[in-house]
Structure 1
Amino acid sequence: MWCTSCALAVEGSLKRLEGVREVSVHYPSATLCISGTPAATQLSTLAAKVKRLGYRLTELEPVGDAHGRLESESRYLTLRLMVGSLFGMWTMLASLLIYAGALPSERVELVVAWVSGAFSLPVVLFAGMPFYRAGWRTLMAKRPGMDVLVSLGVIGAVMVSVWLLWRGSAEVYFDTAVMLIVLLLVGRLVETLCRHRGLKALDALTLPDRNIKVWQNERWVSLPVAEVAAEMRVELAPGELVALDGTLDESGWIDTASLTGESLPRHFQAGQAIYAGCRYLGTTPIVMQVSAGVGKRRLDRLCDEMRRYQAKKGELQKLADRFAAWLSPLAMVLALLTLPAALLFGLGWEDALVRALSVLVVACPCAVGLAVPLASLAGSGQAMQQGVALRDPAVLETLARIRSVAMDKTGTLTTGSHAVLHWQAREGADRQALQRKLRAAVAGSEHPLAQALARWASSLGDQQSEPCEEVNEVPGEGRRVKLSSGEWLSVGSASWMARQRIVLPDQAEDAALAFASQVMVADEAGWLATLYLSDQPVDDAEPSVKRLLASGYVVAMISGDRQGAVSWLGERVGLAREACYAQRSPEAKARLLQALPSPTLYVGDGLNDTLSLAAADVGIAPLNASEAAREGASAQLMTPGIGGVVKLLGIAKRTRRIMVQNLFFSALYNTLALGLVVLMAIPPLVAVLAMAASSLTVTINAARLAWAEPDEEG
């Protein structure tokens, strides 16, 4: 498409199809979003309708193809701009000599005026051709827009100039036609580059095509990644980028920095899911079973969803489209009325034609049409650069007005990984000896609390541990191990210890740590130690919550966990006790959320959060959210923690400010300019410069959002 008028033409044409309920065409991303009956929304049906307008409709293109299309558009515009600038320069020079009175006689002025017209021909006939083509298409769609005005302005300027030359006058307006085309080409080229920049935000979600090793026909073969299907087993070489989603057949160290931004690698266990975009850091090859091939990977889904939802428009965009839709017909009517009105008021044919020409030129609604889409695209690109993938960029408008922020606890405000908060041991017990024995006792256990104990036992003291000769484990309850020294050690819950007839002392700390998970340790002499563990807050939970509170948001934590654990975490991150809601069912979470001041934002990661994500005005899924939560959210954090929520709110406020600025000033310009040009004489060249300046201002203002540093405080 050539401009927003093209988008409106396609939109208007498809709206008239029977069975179509809603149509939205997003010009910056060249994307169509349509809903209706299955018969009406078939690609073949839509493509045939669009083809009659002179456009081509295809399936959603890959990001690489979109880059190629925009690069082709840039070259297309650059060539026409070069032709327009080269020949237009001589046209402007000739006109300048005439205007300045620098020529010796009227006869020479007339010759120079003809020269000016000759140099304008390549500009008018070649560089301006896309405007005429788009104008004709929009007329066919009965949605005349900016290109119709531009075409009429150029043709009018040339015809008036030829008529004046035929009469022997050197006061021609070829320069107006040339300036109109050249300046609009500059604006279109800048718009295309901004669209290209916004599209580059999706590059973080694409991976290069390459060959990988696949186990096939009882041997390892090299296949293109696009040919590898689910259930196939592939080999990961040390340092290799993971190209597909899958599960590991064995444990290994994985660098998730490219996908999550984590600075330290993580140790993944056998059977644990990993996603395309991570990097294997082991020293020997390992095998992974593919769960999703190219096109169905987590990154592919995020990329496609983000680009599909770009076609949806917020209220500001709909307002801009309505304004641009009636502005073009109004300008043409005013231009037609200006000509006879000027003649009635005693102006000559020449002045009347110039006045009507100025009305056409000044009314071009390019700036209005670009006011919101470019700002939205720049805002969603900035969000992606800050680690937040927007499924619906139109949600930026709602995010800018958020009043309440509610969050889930486990997996959202916490890491989902337990750590030792406190420990008690019988009198005379040595900490290093306890850690050494405990490290041996829990080695190899997959229980989350056992893994937390292993981390604590390895954090201090002697790193040597005794091997176990015998292990007896009751899953979920505890384990009894025989160390190499012959000593027996038991590790498990208090209830399991009691069933083993181990006498446990009264714990003075129980009341204060009632929310924590308890793990008992006993040796042959009886009770040895009690360790208290709790899920830890994510690193940026406290600063993020405090920034939200300082910015005036109502912040709440809504969890299904116990009151003690919820209150403890709330105190850790800076929330008041009355803002922490515990033991809430999914239905109760949603009801409580709707009672908060709206618009509301909810951040949750689990299946039990999907109802709240739908009930909130905006839902956000953390990095490790479940599939159901990701599907129900408008945005997903691509980095650990919740700091992305603060950044996104700041970006949304800046984006809406720029949307409002663009829409207000572009609408004000068009309204005032139309009034002025009807009431008083404004040279067409001045009208061209004013129209182009308004479009460039909108574009540069949106680009300022894309290039600026994010404002976390909004």
Structure 2
Amino acid sequence: MTSSTHSESRDLAEALFSVQGLWCTSCALAVEAQLERLPGVTSASLHYPSATLLVCGHAEALDESVLASAVRRIGYRLGPPEAAGDAEARLEKESRYLILRLLIAASFGMWTMIASLLIYAGALPDAGLEQVLAWVSGAFALPVVAYAGLPFYRAAWRTLRARRPGMDALVSLGTLGAVGVSLWLLYQGSAEVYFDTAVMLILLLLAGRLVETLCRHRGLRALHALHTPPADVRRRDRGRWRSCPVEVVAPGDCLCVDQGEVLPLDGVLREGEALLDLAPLTGESAPRRCLPGDAVAAGCRNLGGPLILEVTAVAGECRLDKLREQMWWQQARKGELQRLADRFAAWLSPLAVALALFTWGMALLAGVPGEEALVRALSVLVVACPCAVGLAVPLAGLAGSGQALARGVVFRDPSTFESLAGIRAAAFDKTGTLTPGEPRVLGVNVAPDVVRATLLSLAAKAARDSQHPLARALRRHLRDEGVTVTKAEAEGVTRAEELAGRGRRVRLDDGRELLLGSRSWLAEQGIRAPEYGEASSSEILLACDGRWLGSFALGEQPLPGTGETLAGLREAGLALALISGDRRGAVESLGRTLGLSAEECYPERSPEAKARLVGALPQPSLYVGDGINDVLGLATATVGIAPLGASSAAREGAGVVLMRPGIEGVASAWWLARRTRRVMRQNLVLSGLYNALALGLAASMAIPPLIAVLAMVVSSLSVMGNSARLAWHDSAGPAAEPGEAGEPLRPGGGEFAIETKRVS
């Protein structure tokens, strides 16, 4: 269990758990209802896709054993938030579970349908053969009803015990009602059975549930994608370095981290200087030089020599562990739309049952035979089964996903279409999102009496084999300039020494000494150089035998098309923000290049500050980020988008993933989301009209259950056909997309009329 005290009252607290055994959203509602009836519990919110439960109430009421007992009574299991391996196993098990049952339903149900069609078509020569075929139809329906439909019955029973019946209760009534009526008719000697009704109900709903599971569950592993420490570390023990499990490391222990390794735990640097890549935590494009006594965090990569780390936080208590925990809290909370959908589901099933009973009673009062009255009530239940309603949103989401995939955009969750379509603000990380993520040479300054070719040749020798990000950027620039180091020239380097955070000293075989490094380091060596460039740029200076030869200005340039995309989003009425952990000069310089004002740029922000800024933007909002330092912002935003090359944590935490470089995919995703949302709404209207008309007809006249099922199929086909328009539609792109009311998008117009506000 993970818990926290509520900020408004000392008596109120919140606790986070994981619930196992969920089958559908009705299960989640049942668990919530069961817990909310406990004394001292004020609210319970269960996020079905991630199985994460947030319980609020008095501290004494949040005892895990008490809550687990209440959940166990209705057939579920409560425990601490899932470990990564448990989540992977759960996802794989659910997929296999559904696929197996769907295959059985299709294999046996096919023969049930064939037998039923032969009976209805009157293709058999005598009634005796029809009777035999009716029994055969029931025999083939038995595995479908008994095995493939078992999850519906189990979920129905659990939700009934929690006094919160949902869609599964309605499906179970329809299925078992069809089987019961069929068995009664067989007992009466009639071949007009309805086993095919039960089979089609289970088959269609299993297919819909599989679509939902595959679409919603695959993108919910962000909570387990953050950095995890290695299994073993090197700890100083009695003056010697010994390997030990990371779990036994205690605060105050000293660990050795070699070059290229990732810091396993939070701590304080004790011996020597360190050059750390802090991009996973802060988004900084350049490494940071750390001195003894500086605090360092797990997840940073050591780019310098071996360092000694004194542990301050053990496994499970590091900063990244706290980020993971905050993401649990963020995802467990429900939005207003989800709460409205839950309230709708709470009364829909009881209403359908009441209407079926009303139809049965009215039919009996009207003198209709008891058998026919039962069939009418069954037809009402079948008609009310939410096949088209359940498929309306997932099918539109799948069609939109296919169209998006052709444009290099991957939607990981169908609900993202509706959320993204209504956004009012867009926030972007800098490094790796708006820029390539690695520095590049922006300019070369040559000393007045030095030949440019000589400067580049000596710089290539000085930077050779260095793993520093700025040295790698310099080598890439030199290769673009056609400058390479031959084998003979490489052998001419007799000694190379790299000083972490300062530069590189290279001795050539002719006795010359090259210094390649920062301005401050060369100044310590007594070498002075003219000032060039802006404070927002990094700089490498080259000197030979105490004489300055030239300087290389390095920085980041926006990816192609970035400025145009941001301008298009602004013209459509969205509020924009650039939120980065990088230094102020670099962020504001990039912002000016992209046409962003200083008020829209937020430099030097921690992951927690990024999340607060995203939450303060006009809502709904989207956030685009690529690193571990962005996962909290991705979870806080209404929609998270991961660009090409994003870390695994960012990809898993995002609702949308871009498969092409640049952020043009953000505009494409938004445009496609708006089109998809319209189709979703149309599907819901179509299915709603169907339900209203079909329920009215089924309640007022005799409609065979098979006709009710076929009508349900027609409704589903209409939803499928409308969704297919997304794949057939060929549009010029986002610029040609009309507004919701048919008017072109324009600044401050329609649903995108927003008030841009300064966020602190």
Structure 1 equivalent of residue 161 of structure 2? 140
Equivalent residues in 2 for 1:437-586 (5 A)?
Answer: 533=553, 535-538=555-558, 540=559, 542-551=560-569, 552-553=571-572, 569=590, 572=593, 575-576=594-595, 579-581=596-598
Contact 2:376 2:702 in 1 (8 A): yes
Q: Which amino acid aligns with 1:688?
A: V
Structure 2 equivalent of residue 678 of structure 1? 699
Contact 2:421 2:677 in 1 (8 A): no
Query: Matches of 2:374 and 2:207 in 1, distance apart?
Result: 27
- CA shift for structure 1 position 135: 1.5
Structure 2 equivalent of residue 355 of structure 1? 376
Identity value in percent: 45
Counterpart among 60, 64, 71 of residue 81 in structure 2: 60
2:179 paired with 1:158: yes
Contact 2:429 2:625 in 1 (8 A): no
Contact 1:436 1:466 in 2 (8 A): no
- CA shift for structure 1 position 357: 0.5
Query: Matches of 1:211 and 1:563 in 2, distance apart?
Result: 38
- CA shift for structure 1 position 81: 4.7
Q: Where in structure 2 are there 5+ consecutive unaligned residues?
A: 1-21, 647-657, 738-760
Query: Matches of 2:142 and 2:328 in 1, distance apart?
Result: 40
Deviations 1:532-582 (A, max 9, x none): 8464324x1x4222123235455767799999988864564xx44xx432x
Do the aligned partners of residues 556 and 340 (structure 1) sit closer, same or farther apart at CA in structure 2, a change above 3 Å counting? closer
2:97 paired with 1:96: no
Equivalent residues in 2 for 1:239-638 (5 A)?
Answer: 244=264, 309-345=330-366, 347-365=368-386, 368=389, 397-405=418-426, 419=441, 421=443, 423=445, 425-426=447-448, 428-431=449-452, 533=553, 535-538=555-558, 540=559, 542-551=560-569, 552-553=571-572, 569=590, 572=593, 575-576=594-595, 579-581=596-598, 612-616=613-617, 617=619, 618=621, 620=623, 622-623=625-626, 634=637, 635=640, 637=642
Contact 1:429 1:528 in 2 (8 A): no
Contact 1:387 1:637 in 2 (8 A): no
Deviates more, 1:287-296 or 1:339-348: 287-296
Contact 1:154 1:176 in 2 (8 A): yes
Deviations 1:195-229 (A, max 9, x none): 55445x65993899986564564767666677677
Contact 1:205 1:302 in 2 (8 A): no
Structure 1 equivalent of residue 170 of structure 2? 149
Deviations 1:144-181 (A, max 9, x none): 11222122222322332333334333222233223333
Q: Which amino acid aligns with 2:597?
A: C
Structure 2 equivalent of residue 31 of structure 1? 52
- CA shift for structure 1 position 112: 4.0
Deviations 1:314-348 (A, max 9, x none): 44433433332222111111111112333455544
Counterpart among 149, 152, 157 of residue 131 in structure 1: 152
Contact 2:185 2:192 in 1 (8 A): yes
Q: Which amino acid aligns with 2:199?
A: V
Query: Matches of 1:467 and 1:172 in 2, distance apart?
Result: 93
Do the aligned partners of residues 44 and 270 (structure 1) sit closer, same or farther apart at CA in structure 2, a change above 3 Å counting? same
Contact 2:392 2:719 in 1 (8 A): yes
- CA shift for structure 1 position 360: 0.7
Query: Matches of 2:175 and 2:24 in 1, distance apart?
Result: 17
Q: Which amino acid aligns with 2:563?
A: V
Do the aligned partners of residues 522 and 227 (structure 1) sit closer, same or farther apart at CA in structure 2, a change above 3 Å counting? closer
- CA shift for structure 1 position 403: 4.4
Do the aligned partners of residues 443 and 178 (structure 1) sit closer, same or farther apart at CA in structure 2, a change above 3 Å counting? closer
Contact 1:547 1:646 in 2 (8 A): yes
Structure 1 equivalent of residue 10 of structure 2? none
SS at match of 2:77: coil
Q: Give the total of aligned pairs.
A: 663
Contact 1:650 1:712 in 2 (8 A): yes
Do the aligned partners of residues 314 and 53 (structure 1) sit closer, same or farther apart at CA in structure 2, a change above 3 Å counting? same
- CA shift for structure 1 position 359: 1.0
SS at match of 1:57: strand
- CA shift for structure 1 position 680: 4.4
Structure 2 equivalent of residue 594 of structure 1? none
Contact 1:29 1:307 in 2 (8 A): no
Q: Where in structure 1 are there 5+ consecutive unaligned residues?
A: 591-601
Structure 2 equivalent of residue 687 of structure 1? 708
2:72 paired with 1:51: yes
Query: Matches of 1:519 and 1:255 in 2, distance apart?
Result: 18
Do the aligned partners of residues 38 and 659 (structure 1) sit closer, same or farther apart at CA in structure 2, a change above 3 Å counting? farther
Query: Matches of 1:368 and 1:114 in 2, distance apart?
Result: 33
TM-score (norm 1): 0.68
Contact 1:405 1:555 in 2 (8 A): yes
Deviates more, 1:365-374 or 1:341-350: 365-374
Deviations 1:103-144 (A, max 9, x none): 333344344434544554444444433322221221222211
Query: Matches of 1:40 and 1:454 in 2, distance apart?
Result: 62
SS at match of 1:23: strand
CA RMSD of aligned residues (A): 6.4
Contact 2:432 2:626 in 1 (8 A): no
Query: Matches of 1:23 and 1:5 in 2, distance apart?
Result: 14
Structure 2 equivalent of residue 179 of structure 1? 200
Contact 2:379 2:704 in 1 (8 A): yes
Contact 1:343 1:352 in 2 (8 A): yes
Structure 2 equivalent of residue 205 of structure 1? 225
SS at match of 1:537: coil
Do the aligned partners of residues 227 and 672 (structure 1) sit closer, same or farther apart at CA in structure 2, a change above 3 Å counting? farther
Contact 1:603 1:619 in 2 (8 A): no
Contact 2:75 2:158 in 1 (8 A): yes
- CA shift for structure 1 position 629: 7.7
Structure 1 equivalent of residue 753 of structure 2? none
Contact 2:330 2:635 in 1 (8 A): no
Deviations 1:83-108 (A, max 9, x none): 55555455444433332223333344
Do the aligned partners of residues 15 and 671 (structure 1) sit closer, same or farther apart at CA in structure 2, a change above 3 Å counting? farther
Deviations 1:174-195 (A, max 9, x none): 3322333344334434444445
Contact 1:605 1:621 in 2 (8 A): no
Rg (Cα) greater in structure: 1
Q: Which amino acid aligns with 1:537?
A: Q
Contact 1:213 1:223 in 2 (8 A): yes
Do the aligned partners of residues 221 and 623 (structure 1) sit closer, same or farther apart at CA in structure 2, a change above 3 Å counting? same
Contact 2:392 2:683 in 1 (8 A): no
Query: Matches of 1:126 and 1:489 in 2, distance apart?
Result: 75
Do the aligned partners of residues 277 and 138 (structure 1) sit closer, same or farther apart at CA in structure 2, a change above 3 Å counting? farther
Do the aligned partners of residues 94 and 698 (structure 1) sit closer, same or farther apart at CA in structure 2, a change above 3 Å counting? closer
